[in-house]
Amino acid sequence: MKKSFGSHPLHAGVLGTPAAAPLMPGRDLVRSRTLENGLRVIVWPVHDIPNVALYNWVRAGSRNEAPGITGLAHFVEHMMFNGTTRHPPGEFDRQMEAQGGANNAFTSDDVTVYQDWCPRSALDLVLDLESDRIAHLAFVPEVIESERGVVASERRLRVDDNNQGLLSEQVQASAFVAHAYRFPTIGWPSDIQAWRIEDLQSFFRTYYAPNNLTLILAGDVTAADAFALVERHFGPIAPQAPPDRVRAREPEQVGERRVVLRRKAQTPLLQYAFKAPAAADPRGPAVSLLLSVLVDGDSSRLHRTLVEQKRVAVEVGGHWHEGFDPGLLWLYLTLPQGSDVEQTQSALDAELAKIAAQGVTDAELRRAKNMIAAAFWRKLATIDGKAQLLGEYAVFHGDPLRLFDAPAQFEQVTRRQVQAVAREILDRRRRTVGVLVPEEEEA
Amino acid sequence: MSAPTFGVKVPAHERIVLANGLTLILVPRRDVPLVAFNAVLRGGETADPAGKRGVASLVAGLLEKGAGARDAFGFADAVEGVGGIFNAGAGPESITVRGQFLARDQHLMLELLADVLLRPRLEPQELAYLRARQIELIKAAKDSDPAELIGIYGRAFLFGDHPYGRPVSGSERSLGSIAHEDVLRHRLGQFGADRLTLVFAGDIDSEWLTRAVEQTFADWPRAQRTVSKLAQPARLGKRRVLLVDSPGSTQSYFWIGDVGVDRHYRERPALDLVNTLFGGRFTSMLNTELRVKSGLSYGARSGFARGSVAGEFAIRSFVQTPDTSSALNLALRTLGKLHDPEAITSAMLDSARAYVLGQYPLHFETAADWAAVFGEIELFELGSSYIDSYAPQLCEVSVPQARRVIEEAFPSPEAVAMVLIGDAARLRESLLEYGPVTEMSLREPDYAAARAFAGEELAFT
């Protein structure tokens, strides 16, 4: 549902095009401009349906938090829907929906992203509402209290009543000692109860300035019209001093960490979180391909060996957190009831050791490249996918047009490069292991 | 009422019915070099005898586990080796196989599709493992995803022995009892040319596909059995409660429902507008009460499942355990308010209309979207007007029509099934005020306890 938090919204990047595929359209259509106040605007005109997808990327996430105020970035995201000095709480959604628009938002470790999907006819209103909440956000005390309850409910849904969520929160908190990536994006329960209005105001002032935003529009609008509309609505908003950069650098992890949870449950869980590069790292395509070889689809290595052949897991998944700073490469396993976690762990370790020692085969690499290329095309088939990809490349790679180079970059990755990242990343000393051991219910 | 400024029309397409009854639909579209397919086989979970719940879902799962010359691994390698997607799944009234390939791989795509439909291996050892894995995945969902499971309990409790009450993917117990011969029987009885609609959309080679489908499927016989018409399920008429115990759960996940309306319901545009206003968007009455105004929940929504006969109308939300009664009361009161004569105004209808019209094109953006839509139109015999006339009809919906729909399709709060997954020790007492309470454990390997009391008046307190 809307206004969700997600620790990992940016899925491992979806790029790479087989040599035979046609050239990707779009490079010559995309236009970008930076307003005087520093707001970056990127437009991809596409006229297939009479709609526009708008993404407003704010460079603020749980990475910008501190002990005692964890979850604040996500809470500010919620408050962005709860009234400005010009519009009372609820008006944002009421006006937008009454003109045919829908919206959502998500917060991650790195960014907060606001999304609108509207008919072209509502674009003026949507930009008015979007700029209004950047310029005139109000923090109404009683609304803060009510919204605190909403976030607490969201936390119970995703973490407290969800064993996978609970375990990954603990693993992430143990994987980092210095960097704010250790904070759960939803916030620790006591912080959710303790945020003050001043915390919200200060966070908002610091990060919600035009020079800290990237605005993407994809859909039924010309670049000239889009720039004129954005200039009219966002142009008058004054820039702010750029926020302090995040200075914390996670020190090298020098030994395995382990978290064991005992919970009322039927199913044991096993998670690995390896230290991994940042999104913009040149090894990025090789990391995505490695992950794809490991867990993407029924023909992936870990699915085939652990789920189908050895049957020590019933489900295997993975994720690379592509953030501003070096993050984690995750593997998640769901085990059969009553199974021995140690046995699954040795089987998994053996597979990871093998890929580090022997690398991947040509067929595996071809498959991973093709899967990533096809996923890329599927994403480009919608205005939403276009807006999302442009934003990811603009924000995490510094240039939206790099999106169009990505297919070739994936295609160029060699087996040797994939093996090199496997060796480096899949290192026991740089991993955190999470285990959830089921406990019997009391009678 | 102003005329619609935009709407969605079914795109140019070809529809061919072969002599054996197979329906082929081709929807060319050249925006990206992708092709999408959707194969819909009428039948599905409700085609099987009661007591064999989950057969269709296992058959669907097995289709990808070896077909034609390929075993399970060979099949996965063939699909994923070229970056394809290939998914088979079962629903209450169909098995569907959907996927997407790069346009250059459409020959391989058709070969794989023909193999799974005409030559699935359905091997006993693959069945044994798929079945065991399905059972484990249900257990895992019980540990981590109560909000996802609640609809299964809701339908079992509401529909009882009606086929819509059956869990499509089976239960831990029912799956355990499914034998290889059940799978073979399903395939013999329910697979055949007359059951199949085959849709290809996107950057397709229409001429080649038409010829190839004719050649490949011309000799496929009709299914041995006919699809029997489902009985129209009966409305509840009174309130009853199912409590599914999940000790230690921090929240109560709830579902409040009754029998709604079917796919051919003549007032669909009005139904969509009213549901948008009641529980279909962020500013809906339900979400406003349970989230925006009270902060009780992360969200509350409502919706209709509409099959060949009436499926369920249901409200879903969740709330921390101590606030369960407040949230239930609020949900019921909001449902009651919907029945007030003044509940829906003309201004509200205008807002909902703009919303539905404004979002509608986003559902029809890709070849895969159209492949899905054409499959649905054929399955439920809806005709192109289901899409083409929708926007003009939406524009005509009046307040009296909306009122009539509320009385026809939305239950009274006095006559609903209420289902909760939560910590029973902390909820049991407080639920008695709503009606007779049936209790079961989330750990029970079946939904039989929910079904057993459906339709009975036995107070189980």
Is pLDDT above 60 for A369?
yes
pLDDT band at B4 (very low <50, low <70, confident <90, very high): very low
What pLDDT shows up at residue A59? 98
- C-alpha distance from residue B304 to each of A78, A194, B61, B252, B316 (Å): 28, 40, 27, 22, 11
pLDDT band at A427 (very low <50, low <70, confident <90, very high): very high
The residue assigned the tokens 């596409």 is: A46
Is pLDDT above 70 for A6?
no
Q: Which residues of A touch B85 (CB under 8 A)?
A: 374
Cβ within 8 Å, pair B140-A98: no
Domain B14-217 matches domain B240-452 at the CATH topology level: yes
Exposed / middle / buried, residue B258 (Cβ in 10 Å: 0-12, 13-18, 19+) = buried
Query: What's the number of CA atoms in the CB half-sphere (13 Å) around residue A88?
Result: 3
Is any Cβ of chain B less than 8 angstroms from the Cβ of A100?
yes
What pLDDT shows up at residue A13? 29
What pLDDT shows up at residue B47? 86
What pLDDT shows up at residue A384? 98
Cβ within 8 Å, pair A367-B81: yes
What pLDDT shows up at residue A3? 60
The shortest CB-CB distance from B358 to any of A99, A367, A377 is to A99
For B417-429, give one letter per residue: b (16+ CB within 10 A) or e: bbbbbbbbeebee
Q: How far apart are CA A192 and CA A150, in angstroms?
A: 10
pLDDT band at B30 (very low <50, low <70, confident <90, very high): confident
Q: Mean pLDDT across the stretch A243-265?
A: 96
Query: Does the annotation mark A77 as catalytic?
Result: yes
Higher pLDDT: B66 or B7? It is B66
Residues with Cβ within 8 Å of residue B207, at least 6 apart in sequence: none
Identity of the amino acid at A250: E
pLDDT band at B454 (very low <50, low <70, confident <90, very high): low
> For residue range A21-46, what is the model confidence (pLDDT) as tens digits?
455 678 899 999 999 999 999 999 99
Is any Cβ of chain B less than 8 angstroms from the Cβ of A160?
yes
Sign of CA dihedral A199, A202, A206, A207: positive
A353, two tokens: 């050791």
Q: How far apart are CA A332 and CA A432, in angstroms?
A: 12
Task: Label residue A398 left, alpha or beta by phi (over 0 means left) and psi (-120 to 50 means alpha).
Answer: left
Exposed / middle / buried, residue B99 (Cβ in 10 Å: 0-12, 13-18, 19+) = buried
Is pLDDT above 70 for B348?
yes
What pLDDT shows up at residue A10? 32
Q: How far apart are CA A18 and CA A4, in angstroms?
A: 35
Closest CA to A315 of A328, A302, A327: A302
Cβ within 8 Å, pair B283-A93: yes
Mutate to test the interface with A, among B298, B326, B365 (most CBs of A within 10 A): B298
Looking at chain A, the whole-number percentage of residues with pLDDT higher than 70 is: 94
Q: Mean pLDDT across the stretch B351-368?
A: 96
Mean pLDDT of chain A: 93
Domains of chain A: 4-234 (3.30.830.10), 257-439 (3.30.830.10)
CB–CB contacts below 8 A, A to B: 208
The shortest CB-CB distance from B76 to any of A298, A336, A382 is to A298
pLDDT band at B51 (very low <50, low <70, confident <90, very high): confident
pLDDT band at A202 (very low <50, low <70, confident <90, very high): very high
Q: Mean pLDDT across the stretch A93-105?
A: 98
Q: Mean pLDDT across the stretch B67-90?
A: 97
Identity of the amino acid at B224: Q
Provide the shortest C-alpha distance from residue A382 to chain B (in Å).
6
pLDDT band at B448 (very low <50, low <70, confident <90, very high): confident
pLDDT band at A425 (very low <50, low <70, confident <90, very high): very high
pLDDT band at A1 (very low <50, low <70, confident <90, very high): very low
Q: Is the pTM of this model over 0.90?
A: yes
CA of B7: which chain A residue's CA is closest? Answer: A50
Is pLDDT above 50 for B283?
yes
What pLDDT shows up at residue B50? 73
What pLDDT shows up at residue A45? 97
Q: Which residues of B touch A165 (CB under 8 A)?
A: 144
Identity of the amino acid at B140: A
Which 3-state string (H, E, C) describes A212-231? HEEEEEEECCCHHHHHHHHH
Is pLDDT above 60 for B456?
no
Q: How far apart are CA B185 and CA B48, in angstroms?
A: 9
Closest CA to A120 of A226, A224, A30: A226
The shortest CB-CB distance from B359 to any of A90, A102, A145 is to A102
β-pairing, A257-264 vs A431-439, is: parallel
What pLDDT shows up at residue B395? 96
Is any Cβ of chain B less than 8 angstroms from the Cβ of A311?
yes
CA of A92: which chain B residue's CA is closest? Answer: B283
Cβ within 8 Å, pair B100-A337: no
Is any Cβ of chain B less than 8 angstroms from the Cβ of A121?
yes
Is pLDDT above 60 for A12?
no
CA A430 centroid distance within chain: 22
Helical H runs in A90-155? Answer: 91-98, 123-135, 141-155
Provide the shortest C-alpha distance from residue A48 to chain B (in Å).
8
B365, two tokens: 């953006």
Provide the shortest C-alpha distance from residue B84 to chain A (in Å).
7
Q: Mean pLDDT across the stretch B43-61?
A: 89
Query: ipTM for the complex?
Result: 0.93
Q: Mean pLDDT across the stretch A89-100?
A: 97
The shortest CB-CB distance from A22 to any of B33, B297, B350 is to B33
Q: Which helix (H) or strand (E) holds A187?
A: none
A43, two tokens: 């437009």
Q: What angle do CA A196, B319, B351 make, to 5 degrees?
A: 85
Residues with Cβ within 8 Å of residue A3, at least 6 apart in sequence: A77, A78, A81, A104, A105, A106
What pLDDT shows up at residue B15? 98
Cβ within 8 Å, pair A49-B362: yes
Q: Mean pLDDT across the stretch B250-255?
A: 96
What pLDDT shows up at residue B304? 98
> For residue range B193-214, what is the model confidence (pLDDT) as tens digits?
999 999 999 999 999 999 999 9
Q: How far apart are CA B352 and CA B314, in angstroms?
A: 19
Q: Which residues of A touch B104 (CB under 8 A)?
A: 20-21
Is any Cβ of chain B less than 8 angstroms from the Cβ of A343?
no
Cβ within 8 Å, pair A334-B366: no
Q: How far apart are CA A332 and CA A321, in angstroms?
A: 13
For B199-238, give one letter per residue: b (16+ CB within 10 A) or e: bbbbbbbeeebbebbeebbeebeebeeebeebeebeebee
The residue assigned the tokens 């996670």 is: A250
Mutate to test the interface with B, among A2, A97, A144 (most CBs of B within 10 A): A97
Q: Mean pLDDT across the stretch B141-160?
A: 93
> For residue range B180-195, what is the model confidence (pLDDT) as tens digits?
999 999 999 999 999 9
The answer to whether A313 touches A335, Cβ cutoff 8 Å, is yes
A66, two tokens: 């501190």
Is any Cβ of chain B less than 8 angstroms from the Cβ of A122?
yes
Q: How far apart are CA A315 and CA B397, in angstroms?
A: 47
Q: How far apart are CA B149 and CA B155, in angstroms?
A: 10
Q: How far apart are CA B400 and CA B216, in angstroms?
A: 53
Q: How far apart are CA B380 and CA B367, in angstroms?
A: 20
CATH dotted code for B240-452: 3.30.830.10
Identity of the amino acid at A362: D
> Domain residues of chain B, as ranges?
14-217, 240-452
Closest CA to B168 of B180, B157, B178, B155: B155
> For residue range A292-302, what is the model confidence (pLDDT) as tens digits?
999 999 999 99
What pLDDT shows up at residue A23? 56
Q: How many CB atoms lie within 10 A of CB B167?
A: 23
Cβ within 8 Å, pair A152-B288: no
Architecture in CATH of B14-217: 2-Layer Sandwich (3.30)
The answer to whether A166 touches A160, Cβ cutoff 8 Å, is yes
Residues with Cβ within 8 Å of residue A142, at least 6 apart in sequence: none
Q: How many CB atoms lie within 10 A of CB A196?
A: 10
pLDDT band at B99 (very low <50, low <70, confident <90, very high): very high
Is any Cβ of chain B less than 8 angstroms from the Cβ of A156?
yes
Provide the shortest C-alpha distance from residue A35 to chain B (in Å).
29
Q: Mean pLDDT across the stretch B417-441?
A: 97
> For residue range A166-200, what is the model confidence (pLDDT) as tens digits?
999 999 999 999 999 999 999 999 999 999 999 99
